[in-house]
Amino acid sequence: MSKAVAEFVVEYVQQKPTALLCFPSGESPTGLLQQLLQYAQAGNVDFSQCTFIGLDEWVGLDETNEGSCRYYLQQNLFGPLGISPEKAIVFNGKAPDLDQECQRINAIIQKHGSLDIMLVGIGMNGHIGLNEPGVSFDLYAHHMPLAEVTVTVGQKYFKQPTALTEGITLGLKHFQEARVPILIAAGAKKAAILAQALEGEVTNQVPASILQTLPNALVYLDWAAAGELQFSAE
């Protein structure tokens, strides 16, 4: 799965070296980022002219916290690829004015027209980024309270219990406007929510269900994650 996504991203960047790319943090994209690094090191792709946008961040955290999204992206993407700071754009989870921080990120994306590739995972409650159930499909970057399941699951990224209350994230409007919106997911634990998101009702109670309305969207799954979908594996 990771190799297939990486090949798509590489081919896209080969065609458009100045692409605006959005990547998430977490378990799902790690294999993909490792593949991208291998392609770059082999000289098959040059990311130096690309601009990168981080998908989201825990409010109250910055890159000094190893559980922050910024730390993850720096360790797994920006650092290994040698991306210059001005081309590695991430939310400041400690910004004194979160609305202004959202406007800053929105303005960068708007300057480019839209994201070329916006790659996301899916939460156990169907969230995309930190767009929790009940979120409006029409929001750009925004901040919102975290769902209880997100707070619980999110603890796995931290070495000690960490207070998580709010997230700051790109919005579902960005996902709709991206030239190529991509969802990736792996593992049987994601099978039920994926079936609900991809084959159930389109509703903001399952934010990932917005994929059903996006004709240019791509979904990459492993067989375990696809296990409850209705299509035949044959």
pLDDT at 27: 85
CATH of the domain at 35: 3.40.50.1360
What is the CB-side half-sphere exposure of residue 132 using CA atoms within 13 A?
14
pTM of the model: 0.95
Does some domain include residue 189? yes
Does some domain include residue 227? no
DSSP 83: -
Catalytic residue ranges? 56, 125, 127, 132
DSSP reduced 3-state for 143: strand
Distance between CA atoms of residues 130 and 127, nearest Å: 6
Contacts of 152 (CB under 8 A, 6+ apart): none
Does some domain include residue 212? yes
The domain tally of the chain equals 1
Does some domain include residue 162? yes
Q: What percent of the chain has pLDDT over 70?
A: 98
* Residue 233 pLDDT greater than 60, yes or no: no
- Identity of the residue numbered 84: S
pLDDT band (50, 70, 90) for residue 26: confident
Mean pLDDT, all residues of the chain? 95
| 24, 56 contact by CB (below 8 A) | yes
> What is the arithmetic mean of pLDDT over 70-89?
96
